[in-house]
Structure 1
């Protein structure tokens, strides 16, 4: 071998020795950048699906709404990919979380479910909230009647005032949407009733804990603590005494169901935000929820009953109670929109189950 070839071999070896570490370093960075680009693309592609199907329950920023858990927590992000995928695909028994995989009656492919897993683990929730707002799909805020400091002070003058204050707070946050200020509404019976107070406490506790099958009274066990249930029971039995102290809630009055073009348009927009994910485009139904654009259902179901179903939900199904999240006017716009579909609704679809 000539001396020149030896130098060429030496220089080639030196070049390789110098380039390989540099290549290894840049390849690691390249792979990391490529993975980040992939995450960015998946999150961007999945954000609209989240806005259209998930934000209504889990919030525009993944903060959770009511009994629907937050997704923007470290606990969720740190779940294994298999656990997240299984939850999205199959849902959770005994909760409002439905199975979204096609084989479970949902609307997402396995690939889309995998993308949702990546979305949950990688999303910037502030950016997600902005996109949800851009699409006009920010869900309605939860409506709660507040128990003021003045009311708390008034209750403190009564025996076991702290228990009554807790009971009234729980009632305001969870019960007024259906039961009003105690006199009942179109969607629930009165609770300020001598007949009700004549029932044993054990019976009322069972109703609160387990709900009433076939009605809109849902089960509150698991949602309220034992102490909160006991406080509500105390309030119910001492209702006249509490009301006599000057405490009252505004009545949820609703004597008729007006319908105007503006209400129908607003109801359609709200339907697209809150209802379309389960009940389908224009209310034609999906495997997850029945068709509402259904002449038999609309013909046989009066406005008050439709209002009741929306506000109170349907126990034992995925239909949640919207009474605490929508105002009376918003509920009426939904009724107006659904009623506007009656004339052109298909006559052959089966009606949904009445509560």
Structure 2
């Protein structure tokens, strides 16, 4: 309820909740006081379908007390826990606090398991069957949603199973990426490149760098305009890991291949984000996960290879 800018809804929810409980109590009290005149055969005189009659039997005492207990329990619950608008409850319970307690408990229980890997080198950890299995499970739970269960990614999500790394593929760099996240920004460059024809020419020059099909005449005209891109990608187009600028001379295309895709990138730019996981995973979990991810692009770094 704290997201509301006024206290109207808090008051409304409180009134409806308490009003409903009070109404149930009044209904129970009124029903208990009302006496229905019974006939000699203990019926109310109401008849349906010719022979279906209503007996004049009061509710059993235990049933009445169940209603009373339910009302008292509801009031006690609302006093102890959140439920009346912005009132937090006397116990101070919150969903976030409950979640954090469960996470802390789970981390404490798993700490002895991860302690075994504390002094292990990433290369050795990648070859350890237990660490590899844990890293795989961490990957499935936290990374596969974007990068795929086979870690080969898709359009806009990097392939982690090849040797192409925007920010570097060492275990330390992978651990840094997982912990801190990454924000990749390719600014719109059309104004710096020139006219729409210049943008098309640069697109063909970029295609030529990787040996992809291209118009050689347009590529030759776009070479001089590529200087606007060289600040990040380098004059040779091999990129810059310090900036996260991709290598344009290989056949890896994160956001699509071809003249249309490259032209759209130059005209519109692109912002891509890898969310930080440091608040979600412990340092030990990130270390194991980073070793597993590193092993995906290093064929000799796996338990199977070690055997």
Shared fold, TM over 0.5? no
Bigger Rg, structure 1 or 2: 2
Higher helix share: 1
Higher strand share: 2
Using CA pairs under 8 Å that are at least 6 residues apart, name the structure with larger relative contact order, 1 or 2.
2
